[in-house]
Amino acid sequence: MNTLHEYATIDSLRAALAVHRQAGRRIALVPTMGFLHEGHLSLVEEARALADVVVMSIFVNPRQFQPGEDFEQYPRDLAHDRALAEARRVDMLFIPEVTEMYGGGDEMRIVPRETAARWEGEFRPEHFEGVLTVVAKLFNIVQPDVACFGQKDIQQYTLIRRMVEELDFPIQLHLGETMREADGLARSSRNVYLTPEQRVQALAISRALRAVEGAFEQGELDAAVLRGIARDILDGEPDLITDYIAVVEPERLAPVEAVDAGSVVAIAARIGSTRLIDNVILGDEDV
């Protein structure tokens, strides 16, 4: 398949997917909120290698934004997204309106517990409930064989993995590595909010992660020491306010005292009104 087909309703998408399923084709889902960048597009490439048909959803999900967050201002450019999706050979684009996604009612939610309460959850209390609810809906609508998510949102991915395991979704998950600008800044749709000066200061986040990774490779396993290395670099940028430096195990993102390969170091920091997150999996070749 090569021509991009677009669907705005659940029924029309399901009817088209039924044809592929009957033909025995494997279906991959790449869920996004649009304003596509290389992070999303590299997931499409990986999805193509894992399945016959690539479905991308573009839906800015109001339920995962806290009151006062940037739901209204969240960058949107559907025409550009369509062009990029077509160029990267997405087969099916699902672009529902809010009424299509949530027209069925407002009573039900997927409510995660422990893993969602920490880190991002402390700063965005209902965020993961909104994420998991929309992802569960997308899984039910598309019924993909495989679904692809980016490592930048590691807590989101961890919770989706838990949801798939605990609620028995018959779906394989694929984690795509974080895509970065040439200077190391993790690709994010929200990077457009940064002024040139803020962007320079924001580089301290990936610099801190690189330094932690380097120290780990030199044999440093003490989480407090690694956190201190990151803290010193982040504190060097006066306008950068660190929300957390998490040094955690990968299953539930609980803090650890000593790291090993597979431990996750995640940072969230604010600059002006923009909140940025990034992370590294120790022992991985990232950053």
Torsion from C-alpha of 171, 177, 180, 182, nearest 10 degrees: -140
Question: Is 156 a residue that touches ligand PAF (CB under 6 A)?
Answer: yes
Binding residue for ligand PAF, selected from 134, 146, 233, 253, defined by CB under 6 A: 134
Written as six digits, the tokens of 24 are: 């025995």
Question: Is residue 40 flagged as an active site residue?
Answer: yes
How many residues touch ligand PAF (CB under 6 A)?
10
- Choose the binding region for ligand PAF from 78-86, 131-139, 169-177, 234-242 (rule: CB under 6 A): 131-139
Q: Does 286 engage in binding with ligand PAF (CB under 6 A)?
A: no
The CB density around residue 34, as the number of other CB atoms within 10 Å, is 23
- For residue 255, list its beta bridge partners: 248
What letter does residue 100 receive in the DSSP assignment?
Answer: H
Given candidates 10, 31, 136, 154, which one binds ligand PAF under the rule CB under 6 A? 31
Beta carbon nearer to ligand PAF, 92 or 212 = 92
The one among 41, 54, 56, 61 contacting ligand PAF by CB under 6 A:
61
- Copy the structure tokens of residue 263: 């431990």
Residue 63 CB, nearest approach to ligand PAF (Å): 9
Torsion of CA 142, 250, 115, 39, to 10 degrees: -40
Token pair of 269, please? 């920091």
Selected catalytic residue, list 40, 80, 127, 174: 40
Answer for the pair 74, 61: CB distance below 8 angstroms, yes or no: no
Q: Which two tokens stand for residue 242?
A: 């660190």
Nearer to ligand PAF by Cβ, of 81 and 153: the residue is 153
For residues 27 and 142, is the Cβ–Cβ distance under 8 A? Answer: yes
Q: Which stretch binds ligand PAF (CB under 6 A): 25-33, 89-97, 103-111, 117-125?
A: 25-33
Cα of 107 vs its chain's centroid, Å: 25
Label the pairing between strands 264-271 and 240-248: antiparallel
Q: Which stretch binds ligand PAF (CB under 6 A): 29-37, 174-182, 195-203, 277-285?
A: 29-37
State yes or no: residue 64 binds ligand PAF (CB under 6 A).
Answer: yes
Annotated catalytic residues are 40
Contacts to ligand PAF by CB under 6 A:
31-33, 61, 64, 131, 134-135, 153, 156
